Each structure stands twice: as C-alpha cells, then as structure tokens.
Amino acid sequence: MDAKTVSPAVRARQSRDRLKLLFEEGRPGRRGVDFPPLDVPDAAEAIEPELARDGVEGMPELSEPEVVRHFTRLSMLNYAVDRGLYPLGSCTMKYNPKVNEWAARLPGFARAHPYAPDALSQGSLELIHDLEELLATITGMDAVTLQPAAGAHGELAGIMLIRACLESRGDARKVILVPDSAHGTNPATASFSGYEVEEVPSNAKGCVDLDALRRRVDGTVAALMVTNPNTLGVFEEDIAEIAKILHDAGAMLYMDGANMNAMIGITRPGDAGVDVMHLNLHKTFSTPHGGGGPGAGAVAVKKHLEPFLPVPRVAGTLGAYRLDYDLPQSIGKVRSFYGNFGMFVRAYAYIRALGATGLREAGLTAILNANYLRRALEGVLTLPYASPSYHEVVFADHDLEKETGVKTLDIAKRLMDYGFHPPTVYFPLIVHGALMIEPTETESREELDAFVAAIKAIVEEARTDPELVKTAPHTTPLRRLDETGAARKPKLRFMP
Ligand SMILES: *Cc1c(COP(=O)(O)O)cnc(C)c1O
C-alpha cells in the first residue's frame, strides 16, 4: 500500500510497460497471423495501380502475444464494477448480472433486424410489450415508451409530451420549475426544450420548500421537474402534496426516476400523482452503462399523456403484435427504430429473474447499504443534512478542510491508492465539497466495511500527513492530473 515502499525505478518500469502505445512496441517483420498461400486470384491486382498503396507508413508490426498483452494491460487499467465497489453517487453503478448478457445474446434477439416484418418479430415485440407493462406496474403509471436512449433523452421526451398535451388544450405555458436539489440534466432539459427555467429552493430537510412552491405556481407554469429521491439522497416526502399544488394550477409533475432503485417495490410514483417520469434502465434495471452508452431512458405516463407518446408503439395481442404508427397526436419519433433493444432484453431478464419480491428486496437493500455507510462515516466526515438517506448519502468536507486543508478532491484521489473508485464529488452544488456516495444493493457488508476503513484511514492521514493526501494518487500509472489542462489541451500520447 505504502507508495514509498515501491522503488521509483520499479514504478517507472511498471508504468512504462503499462502505458506503451502499440506503435512503440513490436519490430519490423513481426507477425501476429500467418495466412496460407492464396489459392484464388489476387484481388489487389484488380486495383488501379495509382490507387493501390504498397504499404502503410508507421503501421506497428506485432506478434500475437504482444497484441493480447497490450489490450489485456489496457483493460486492467480500467476500473470496473466487475473489479470492486464503484460508489459514484447518482450513477447507480451496481453489478450487472451475467444472465442478462446471456439473454441479450440469444440469436433470436441479437440477430433480429429492425426492418423484419412484424410477423417475423413476434418474440421481440412481445418482449417490448411485456417490458412496458412491467415498468407501468412497477411505477404505477398507465403507459410506457422505451424509445429514448438515455435518462436525459427520456427527460426531453417527457417534457415534449407535457408541451404537446398542454398545447392540445390550447394552454401553452412558458415556465418549468426545478428544485435546487435536482439532477443537472433537469434544468438543462427544460431549457433545451425552450422553457424558461426557474429554481425552487430546498428547505432545511433537503426537500422542496412547499411554501416557496405554492407562491410561485400559477397559470404560466407548465410543470415542476423533481428528482426523487433527490440528489441529496433524500426522499421528497411531500410528493403527493407537490402534485396537488401543481394540478390545482393546471400544471404537471415530472419525476426524474433515475434513482428508482431506492423506491422499487416499496412505493410507486404514479400513486403519488406523478404525471410523467423516466427510468434509467441502465441504472435501476442493471443494464451496463458508462463510457457513453448504450442506455435506455424509458418514459412512463398517465392516461392523459398516452396519446402523445412517440411512434411506433407496440399494439395487438399475443401472437399478433404489430408496430402502430397511426397515432395522430404523437410527438413523432425520438430515436431511430425502437430504442436500444439489447438494453430491453437485459432489463427484462433482470426483472424476471428477481420477480416482485426480489425487486423489493433490491430496493430495501439499496437503502440499507446507503444508511449503513452513513452511520459508519457519521462523525468521520461532515453530514450536512439530517434527513435519512435513501439510495445514497452526501457528505461535505468543510470541517476536515478547516482542520487539515485536505479537500474532497484529495480524498477522492487518495481512494484510488486504496483500490476504490472515488465517489461523485462536488455535486450536488448545494453542498460544500460534496462527496456523494451510492453503494447500491449489490455490495456485501465486507466490501462496504473495506470502503469505510479506507475513508477512515485517509481522514487519519489528513491529520498526520496531509501532503500525502494532497498529492495522491501515488500508485496509479498517472499521478494527479491537471484536469482543466486535460480538457483544453489533451495530450494523446502518454510517453515522450
Ligand atoms: C443519471 C441521471 C440522469 C441522466 O441519465 P443519462 O442516462 O446519463 O442521460 C438524470 N437524472 C438523474 C437523477 C440521474 O441519476
């Protein structure tokens, strides 16, 4: 563990080996594959000589083991949920069961063509139909579209539905309200959709301030977008009252349900009066995510929004499902074809494997794990909100910073030396130096205890050797990065 016990020479060699480019390995003449002699005419002879190249300059020539080792080394530099705890708050980096992958790779699904006629696609259509129904039941909503490709994309579709519905009533409105504890994508979505965005403050409990909401809601407000549980990990306990305040003024309630893993099987947004919400299948329903996709941001709506859902929708009955494009009030398509179908198969497999009791247990365990961490770290880090946690717990750094000068970023970097992926940092913005930790339900008590021990050790180090923490990480191939510089002037070559 101690960085000082590894000699600099050893470290230099390790990092050089790990970070070499393919272009820096190999030798001219080295081959990874041996082709047998051609027993057909050489197609290269058919190419116009001036179009043909006689070689590619600088192409690395490598043996098979060099290639395999290169890519295996690279894959090992990557921290992954298959290697250990990945406590990125708000992101729900839970373990993705491998049975989902088996299901998604069944040839009937994996090789289905999006243009195949309905008659030859009954299995896929049935899966879409049944998954929509399962998600409607889980959320307490009336209808679901699986088309959006991500959570933020689901938000956009959901807000388009609200707009289409209000406009069909001749009641176009201008403003969308967003609490200050919302996920950042919520105000971005509202603004991208052409609405004016107004912020609603949180109260001391970390929930929407109802009086402030009552004062602001009027005939200009189209909707409130609320993240629940919110980015403080706090459940909006007045969600039904929030819905009522909006409905009384002819406005709607949008719920960001990306954190549904803390509610699943326990409570249903539809029962609380939510009009439209999205789910992140790639979080709550364990389809792999990160690195840019693919995702699936299913949108669930109440009856009054159903006529506006994107086309096509799966209609018909078992054995005779079809894709229905004939929906005159639909907002149209929001994604090519039908969405990321492979994600639907994985989410469906997950739901069917767990069943109703298993899903509820997953929800309860997500809450238990977050509260376990909260209890274990209370008094070690600063807890800015006293409300109980749901799926995640948010700490602040100001006490430790005042005492030692060590900040949230330093703790996050030092955690890498202890073999953990850092939690989400500096978000939500309403918490000073936020450390937003979401353990998820798939972690064992031993893994959580190891994480707690690492945080405690780092806080102790902050008191005894603050420089060690402030200059971390010490055991990773690259040390502390200039993050602004990395974004502005990316250096794509590791070694000179
Ligand atoms: C992850 C997340 C989103 C955005 O989802 P993407 O799939 O990344 O677009 C929105 N809201 C909340 C609360 C989230 O956690």
- Whole-number pLDDT of residue 437: 97
Residue 354, pLDDT > 50, answer yes
Residue nearest to atom 2 of ligand 1 (CA): 258
**Ligand 1 atom closest to the CA of 289, numbered from 1:** 7
- Whole-number pLDDT of residue 16: 57
- Residue 151 Cα to ligand 1 midpoint, Å, equals 5
- Residue 345 Cα to ligand 1 midpoint, Å, equals 20
- Whole-number pLDDT of residue 14: 63
Q: How far apart are CA 129 and CA 356, in angstroms?
A: 18
Give pLDDT tens digits for 202-221.
Answer: 998 889 999 999 999 999 99
Ligand 1 pocket at CB < 6 A: 90-91, 150-152, 183, 185, 227, 256, 258-259, 280, 295, 297
When mean pLDDT is compared across 95-104, 157-166, 360-369, 477-486, the lowest value belongs to: 477-486
Residue nearest to atom 5 of ligand 1 (CA): 151
What topology does CATH give the domain 95-496? Aspartate Aminotransferase; domain 2 (3.40.640)
When mean pLDDT is compared across 14-23, 231-240, 461-470, the lowest value belongs to: 14-23
Judge if pTM exceeds 0.85: yes
Residue 496 pLDDT level (bands cut at 50, 70, 90) = very low
- Residue 424 Cα to ligand 1 midpoint, Å, equals 13
- Residue 150 Cα to ligand 1 midpoint, Å, equals 8
Residue nearest to atom 14 of ligand 1 (CA): 258
- Whole-number pLDDT of residue 494: 56
Q: Hey, which of 192, 280, 440 would you mutate to test ligand 1's pocket, going by the most ligand atoms within 8 Å of its Cβ?
A: 280
- Residue 228 Cα to ligand 1 midpoint, Å, equals 12
Share of the chain above pLDDT 90, in %: 75
Q: Hey, which of 185, 234, 263, 281 would you mutate to test ligand 1's pocket, going by the most ligand atoms within 8 Å of its Cβ?
A: 185
Domain boundaries, given as residue ranges, for the chain: 3-77, 95-496
- Whole-number pLDDT of residue 294: 86
Mean pLDDT of 351-359: 97
Residue 18 pLDDT level (bands cut at 50, 70, 90) = low
Give pLDDT tens digits for 88-142.
Answer: 999 999 999 999 999 999 999 999 999 999 999 999 999 999 999 999 999 999 9
**Ligand 1 atom closest to the CA of 231, numbered from 1:** 13
- Residue 383 Cα to ligand 1 midpoint, Å, equals 24
Residue nearest to atom 6 of ligand 1 (CA): 151
Mean pLDDT of 388-404: 92
**Ligand 1 atom closest to the CA of 227, numbered from 1:** 13
**Ligand 1 atom closest to the CA of 182, numbered from 1:** 13
Mean pLDDT of 173-190: 95
